[in-house]
Structure 1
Amino acid sequence: MKIINLVQGSDEWLEWREGGVTATDATILLGRSPYKTIWRLWAEKTGYARPEDLSSNPLVKKGIENEDKARIAFEENHDDMVLPACVESDEDPIFRASLDGLNGDWQPVELKCPSESTWNDVCTNGTNSKPYHLYYAQVQHQLMVTKAKKGWLVFWFEGEVREFEILPDQELMDELTLKAHEFWDQVTNKIEPPKDPEKDTFIPKGDQATEWIRLAEEYRFFEDQVQEAKKRLDDLKTKQKPLLENLKGLMGDNFTADYGGLMITRYKVAGKLDYKKILKEEAPALKAEDIEKYRGNDSERCRVTVSESVKPRTVVDEEAVAPLLNMVEEFEISYF
């Protein structure tokens, strides 16, 4: 392997990561990542879309804050020193890894500081847990790059540590190599991979973009009127509230009243059941998958968010956003 002299987190480091296939990318290319699709990774590598900013994510922040604690815990357990490093494969430089650490035997050490629920999954299910399955591919990529005979996957949570020794998995490495080169060809030649319709954002093109803009302008116009109407309704409800309180005061202890065109009925509602607490105290052995078998069929919902800008939140490709340049963004409403 080749050591690359970069400071992790720097602009140069980010640029270097975008120039190849990283260990984080490996989980995506192998279809193991619940967070990102191959299309989304392609969009970020080609500059079609910018990466989402996760710096304010509390789990990400917690992981960064505790990484040194996890590293120290591993060092103490093994009487060894672990240093962060950026490395590339000698044989195939598109494979690169930003390692949490290399130990004294030049073995990669992947450190994870998860949430409590993830930690519990690891402790309960070990190598059958979802986090192990996800990050196993990441360590395999690191083993490809470093040519080490084994690596380490380390989970740290509030001072406790769970370690997994990872040996090279040639079958997975072969699959990763094939998929990585196929993906990198798509990146270098700007060949868009198929989207996942359930996870990737639809961006219309051509005539579809024109029709979308027409419909969106009309929808946004009516949405402004809806919001004005809601504001007016909220104002009216605010004026009603003290009147109702005075009427209830006149009723005293009576639960019903009917006079002057108003029928008022007061009633009591049972308190909300804390099902999580019930399950924890009365059925602690019950697992989430046991509950799921009692769930009904899925139903589809639709949520519309009207944003100030008409441009997609992360897509920055000039050709994709060009049809939006003349779109009406603001409307003057005088509904009331």
Structure 2
Amino acid sequence: MIVDLIQGSHEWLEYRKSKFNASETPSILGIGFNKPYQIALIKKGKFKPFISEAMRQGNQYEPMIREQINQKYNLELEPVVMVSDDDDRFLASLDGADLDKKVFCEIKFSKNEFEYVKANDKPSDKYYYQIQHQFYVSNLSRCIYAVGYIDDNFELSISHIEVSRDDETIDKIKKAWDKFEKDYLNADNYAWESLCNELLKLNDEKKLLDEKIEKLKKEAIKKADGKEFSAFGVTIYKTTRKTADYKTFLADNNLEIPANYYKSSESWGVRVAN
């Protein structure tokens, strides 16, 4: 079903927050530009979507690429927003669709993706999943995938391929979105949101601090130039460790540790998304 919205408009952006969008599907599956929890925050207006330079250039060159596809395939592709007739949670904002000929296109602007398509004659995984989401929503029969980039001669190079519908992948996408809705959008989980957001924020800050500390430590060791140093609350010292390779020793001597020497314990941990 067609939704009367203009892509890029405020109304379109607001409408997308309540839907399962094709461009977000790679992230839901763990291979997109954002983490799943970030997609949840985007939908709640608490996080800005990632926009790369390639995405910005894609918006600029998209009409030109679409027109070339129209001429090459004798089509009348126009941008359209569609919601699935089977499940209106699923939305797709198509770069172009010719409804009479049951064809849609997906346009990307990326040198890396251009080279991948040329070498493999298929989209990379993240864009393959996006296209299959679009197949499900639009229920159209064909997809033309076009990737462009500005080459060394400052000219627009474009590669076109056709992608077929893959119902097995579509089923995987639907299950992934159901899990996302249960894990991140279910009201029962809202009580966790504040705690998890604070933990994620502090973890990101710690990561930056750890990276900065390691960099300064390396600079200090280099500055010490092989000599021990202690001043201003900082000590630079040399350590020598002697370790035993028990695993290799046991293997070389064809030995096994008796079962009564093993001890089991149980503990709980917290893994924070990077």
| TM-score normalised to structure 2 length | 0.64
Q: State the distance in 1 between where 2:73 and 2:11 align.
A: 32
**Which structure features the higher share of strand residues?**
2
Aligned AA (1:110): E
Is 1:144 aligned to residue 136 of structure 2? yes
How far 1:151 sits from its partner (Å)?
Answer: 1.6
The two structures, once aligned, show a CA RMSD in angstroms of: 3.0
Larger Rg: 1
Amino acid in the other structure paired with 1:13: W
Partner of 2:171: 174
Shift of 1:53: 6.4
Q: Which residue of 2 aligns with 1:119?
A: 114
When residues 84 and 177 of structure 1 are mapped into structure 2, their CA distance, relative to the original with a 3 A threshold, is same
Which runs of no fewer than 5 residues in structure 1 stay unpaired? 196-200, 220-336
Counterpart in 1 of 2:14?
A: 15
User: Which of these residues, 33, 40, 43, is aligned with residue 41 of structure 2?
Assistant: 43
1:176 & 1:118 partners in 2: Cα distance?
22
Structure 2 letter corresponding to 1:166? V
- Give 1:97 deviation, angstroms: 0.6
Cα distance in 1 for partners of 2:176, 2:142 equals 23
Does the 8 Å contact 1:151/1:166 carry over to 2? yes
Query: Closer, same or farther in 2 for the Cα pair 1:25/1:117, shift >3 Å?
Result: closer
Query: Is 1:183 aligned to 2:180, yes or no?
Result: yes
- Per the alignment, do residues 188 and 20 of structure 1 end up closer, same or farther by CA in structure 2, a change over 3 Å counting? farther
Instruction: Measure the CA separation in 1 of the matches of 2:197 and 2:89.
Output: 29
Aligned-residue sequence identity (percent) comes to 24
Corresponding residue to 2:146 among 135, 142, 154: 154
Aligned to 1:106: 102
Give the counterpart letter for 1:141 in structure 2.
H
Shift of 1:16: 0.9
How far is the alpha carbon of 1:156 from its aligned partner?
2.1
The CA distance in 1 between the partners of 2:112 and 2:27, in whole Å, is: 22
Deviation at 1:87, TM superposition (A): 0.4
Kept after mapping to 1: 8 A contact 2:113/2:124: no
* Greater RCO (Cα-Cα under 8 Å, separation 6 or more): 1
Count of residues in Structure 1 that have an aligned counterpart in Structure 2: 196
Alpha-carbon separation, structure 2, partners of 1:18 and 1:58: 23
Q: CA deviation at 1:188?
A: 4.1
Q: CA deviation at 1:81?
A: 0.9
Q: What SS is found at the alignment partner of 2:147?
A: strand
1:333 aligns to what?
Answer: none
Per-residue CA deviation, residues 96-126 of structure 1 (Å, 9 max, x unaligned), is 1111010242322101121x34322322333
Measured after TM superposition, the shift of residue 170 of structure 1 is: 1.2
Distance 1:31 1:204, change over 3 A: closer
Q: Is the Cα contact below 8 Å between 1:108 and 1:139 reproduced in 2?
A: no
Unaligned runs of 5+ in 2: 150-154, 210-274
Amino acid of the residue matched to residue 156 of structure 1? G
| Of 61, 66, 71, the match for 2:66 | 71
CA, structure 1 residues 40+150, in 2 after alignment: closer, same or farther (shift >3 Å)?
Answer: same
- In the alignment, which residue of structure 2 is the partner of 1:265? none
Distance 2:64 2:177 in 1: 33
- Residues 4-32 of structure 1: CA deviation (Å, up to 9, x unaligned): 00111111000111111010111112222
2-structure distance, mates of 1:43, 1:99:
24
